A and B are shown apart, each in its own frame.
Chain A
Amino acid sequence: MSLKNVVAAGLLMAVMGSAASAQSLVYCSEGSPEGFDPALYTAGTTFDASSHPIYNRLAEFKVGTTETIPGLAESWEVSEDGLKITFNLRRGVKFHSNDMFTPTRDFNADDVIFSFDRQGNPDNPYNKVSGGTWEYFSSMSMPDLIKSIEKVDDYTVVFNLTRPEAPIIANMAMDFASIMSKEYADAMLEAGTPEMLNQAPIGTGPFVFQAYQKDAVIRYLRNDDYWGDKAKVESLIFAITPDASVRYQKVQAGECHVMAYPNPADVQAMKDSDDIVVMEQEGLNVGYLAYNTKVAPFDNPKVRKALNMAIDKQAIIDVVFQGSGQIAKNPIPPTMWSYNDDVRDDPYDPEAAKKMLEEEGVSDLSMKIWAMPVQRPYNPNARRMAELMQEDFAKVGVNVEIVSYEWGEYLERSKAEDRDGAVLLGWTGDNGDPDNFLAVLLGCDAVGGSNRAQWCNEDFDKLTTEAKTLSSQEKRADLYRQAQVIFKEQAPWATIAHSVVFMVMRPEVEGYVVHPLGGHIFDQVGLSQ
């Protein structure tokens, strides 16, 4: 081959570009999964790569909503006293196979029991495998809540609870509740390689795990035996690309079809481009400033209210979120059921705020604002946010000192009931249930823990506690709406923002739905030719 031909061949390769074949959907993901057993981890990046493509759960979230629909359980009944939930399992569901394992039976009750028992029972051989810490299982209070799990027959399982708990169905749709194959687990235990459950996953989901190279690529193939609607593409590839600008370049060059987490500064250019489609939705999160309601003068709701009125939230959205956020007025995001849109936000009115503070006898107030040292979707730049608040508060005569600690320290110290100062923090929903925000972040039980406002209001607490015991979503929503009204009157937090989530894709991508719970789900996504 002459030199000219070599050069020509090289150029041809270059011109051909490098998108994988039309039957493959390439997703530029932001990082490597920690592993493939979702119950061991808590990161969304891990769930995108494990629970969504590979596994199913008893209940599933309907993509695009926080509603639960039947998954591996075709239906369920809750007993009158709310202490017993009977799941009727789906028949004929096949587990995947790989080089080490071929299933000999369909999914059944043993798999359900194994999936939970390994997380809660210290005697289960898998309890300590892969350094199992089962973070979600314990942080969703499963050990206290589940008294026992009984197998009635191969296709009926009963969960006996210690107390009625309406959000448990939503918990069953969470990633940690993914159903693993007991047969595979037993086989790997026998082979002396139990860690394979985490490294070479076997599930019932729409895609079969094929290969993974850390920090490079994850490959999946369509599960042609899938019990539900089969995936639209033959293979799914995650091209791990940590840098957001590079992800953008890759989508432009056709090396990826879909990407998440664009730089906010790039979003406008993406929207203007003909070759790129941008989808957006409010994230299931809230960023807030929590006063310490146990320390004077912040124990006075009027003082808190006045300070809330001094904050120019629009400026924060523009500067800190660069448009990728939306002003928050309630402690739960608007995509969540029971969101009370009738609540009126505190208006931005420094003059009135100053007057209110004077009326309450507060003058020469000095306070601290804690700024988180890390970036979070609900607060991309806490330092900048704190500086803006410092300026706002100065206008009403309040002097602010900004403090910060290393992230672990910050989380620990901000829990103290005698903490000095108001804390910037936030929350991302786990299961789409309002209880996961209102009780976890504002309940009396959480004072000294995740209730950073140290706020315990009897009326509010009564509503949220009662809502937890009801099975009717309509009745629960009604109580949560009332609770949001009390929250706004009492103002334990200044609610700042909900982030806006952007998904960026090429025009040939069809059927992508932004999921409010934050996951990136591809089984019903196709490519037009």
Chain B
Amino acid sequence: MLTYVLSRLLTFIPTFIGVTLISFSFIRALPGDPIVVMAGERGISQERYLELQQQFGFDRPIAVQFWDYLTGVLHGDLGSSFVTKRPVWDEFFALFPATLELSVCAMIFAVFLGLPAGVIAAVNRGKLFDRLLMSTALVGYSMPIFWWALLLIIVFSGNLGWTPVSGRIDLIYYFPNPTGFMLIDSIASGQSGAFLSAVRHLVLPTIVLGTIPLAVIARQTRSAMLEVLGEDYIRTARAKGMSPFRINGIHAVRNALIPVITVIGLSVGTLLAGAILTETIFSWPGIGKWMVDSIFRRDYPVVQGGLLLIAVMVMVVNLTVDVLYGVINPKIRKR
């Protein structure tokens, strides 16, 4: 197992260099000079332009710029945002916990509802529940996030008043955020009601962000289960007179999990990088919106650094998924 993990870690190196190169060159390939974009309608004098070019290092050959960036990255220096002038590293870690907290909640929501739903649908193949579930999943998968989020806000926050409209916690609560995870910090603050408020603020964004993964997981679980349920050993188990709960709940599910785990792993990547719409609507201070704003402003250091960090996260998640395969299926572990 250890050699397996180590060999997987080695493949990180070329991926890492590739991501660095791609993020560096893609943002530069976009038309639009960051200095001109920064100056806007007001324009900028040639003299000032050259001065800023020098300050940002754009006057040097592109290869030199890349080399400087790469050595910087290896020393843990991702540069500073052109706009806020703050180190990319600081900005990322100030915002990332919010994205992570929301993504984890959305994932838990999707897995805890999606897995059982998929299993039940497979066991009741062709029956009303199965049809109902699969059509709901299709709707969930194809629903525009923006519309879905606003609909939930209007119904649950506007009309019913059950949940707050947006944000991470009620503004009356004010405490330091050492971890950046509101659920943890609200408990640590010791202020009564703070935790409950943080939970209430999480409900709608979790549902919105979790909807697509929920639909995907439910569908994937159903089809994987159907495949497994047709296997010989399941028939044997049935013939032995084993209870349906043991057959479906233990033997079948465990074997159906491999493709489901793959889907979950892939969804985590999309969740981390793809929370942009959810974050914008719910005023959720995460990295999705930060990245998009930076692309529009041609804030090179943020786009490069942010992409790199997200790529690293996705690589780590993929590795974890691979390790999980081994835990679930001993055949893979021994291979």
Contacts and interface: CB of A to CB of B under 8 A. Distances in A.
A409 B85 contact: no
A427 interface: yes
Interface string B164-184: 111110111010010000000
Interface string B33-66: 1101111111111001000100100000000000
Contacts of A405: 31
Interface string A219-252: 1000000000000000001011111011001101
Contacts of A399: none
B287 to A, nearest CB: 10
A66 interface: no
B42 A135 contact: yes
A75 interface: no
B197 A18 contact: yes
Nearest to A138: B48
Contacts of A252: 158
Contacts of A139: 39, 42-44
Which of A14, A211, A412, A450 neighbours the largest number of chain B CB atoms within 10 Å of its CB? Answer: A14
A334 to B, nearest CB: 21
A249 B154 contact: yes
Dominant SS at the A interface?
mixed
**B36, B85, B161 pick with most chain A CB within 10 angstroms:** B85
Interface string A128-144: 10110101001100000
B258 interface: no
A411 B95 contact: no
B51 to A, nearest CB: 9
Contacts of B196: 9-10, 13
B94 interface: yes
The bracket for how many chain B residues form the interface is: 35 or more
Contacts of B193: 13
A408 B36 CA distance: 5
How big is the A interface, by class?
Answer: 35 or more
Contacts of A104: none
Contacts of A131: 55, 80, 82, 85
Most buried by B among A128, A213, A219: A213
A215 B290 contact: yes
Contacts of B101: none
Residue among B41, B158, B165, B167 with the highest chain A CB neighbour number at 10 A: B165
Contact of A34 (B43, B84, B286, B298): B84
Interface in A445-477: 449-450
Contacts of A24: 171
A215 B43 contact: no
A243 B41 contact: no
A133 B290 contact: no
A30 to B, nearest CB: 10
Interface stretch (B7-15, B129-137, B227-235, B275-283): B275-283
Given A199-B86, A249-B157, A411-B41, A239 B171 contact: yes
A246 B166 contact: yes
B150 A245 contact: yes
Contacts, number: 154
B326 to A, nearest CB: 39
B153 A408 contact: no
A146 interface: no
B161 A217 contact: no
Interface string A100-140: 00000000000000000000000000001011010100110
A450 B153 contact: no
A133 B165 contact: no
A434 B44 CA distance: 21
Nearest to A129: B85
A131 B299 CA distance: 13
Given A406-B31, A449-B43, A450-B42, A213 B285 contact: yes
A412 B34 CA distance: 12
A214 interface: yes
B154 A408 contact: no
B249 interface: no
Contact of A14 (B40, B98, B163): B163
Contacts of A242: 280, 283, 289
Contacts of B42: 42, 135, 139, 450
Interface string B66-101: 000000000000001011111000010011001000
A139 B171 CA distance: 38
Contacts of A14: 161-163, 200
Interface string B278-314: 0011111110011000000010000000000000000
Interface in B175-217: 177, 193, 196-197, 200
Interface in A384-439: 405-409, 411-412, 415, 425-428
A408 B298 contact: yes
Contacts of B163: 14
A42 B42 CA distance: 10
Contacts of A40: 85
Nearest to A405: B31
A329 B138 CA distance: 53
Contact of B280 (A42, A138, A243): A243
B86 A213 contact: no
B174 A17 contact: no
B172 A240 contact: no
B18 interface: no
A408 B45 contact: no
B84 A239 contact: no
B32 interface: yes
Given A216-B285, A246-B165, A34 B83 contact: yes
A246 B281 contact: yes
A24 B171 CA distance: 10
A255 B283 CA distance: 13
B270 to A, nearest CB: 21
A21 B32 CA distance: 46
A249 B40 contact: no
Contacts of A213: 94, 177, 285
Nearest to B55: A131
Given A14-B162, A195-B85, 9 more contacts: A18-B164, A20-B171, A135-B44, A139-B44, A195-B86, A216-B98, A241-B166, A243-B281, A411-B39
20 contacts: A13-B197, A15-B161, A17-B161, A18-B170, A20-B171, A40-B85, A131-B80, A135-B39, A214-B91, A214-B285, A240-B285, A243-B281, A246-B165, A246-B281, A249-B153, A250-B165, A250-B166, A406-B30, A408-B32, A408-B298
Question: 9 nearest interchain CB pairs?
Answer: A215-B285, A408-B32, A408-B36, A216-B285, A130-B85, A406-B31, A20-B171, A18-B170, A241-B283
Interface of B: 30-34, 36-45, 48, 52, 55, 80, 82-86, 91, 94-95, 98, 150, 153-154, 157-158, 161-168, 170-172, 174, 177, 193, 196-197, 200, 280-286, 289-290, 298
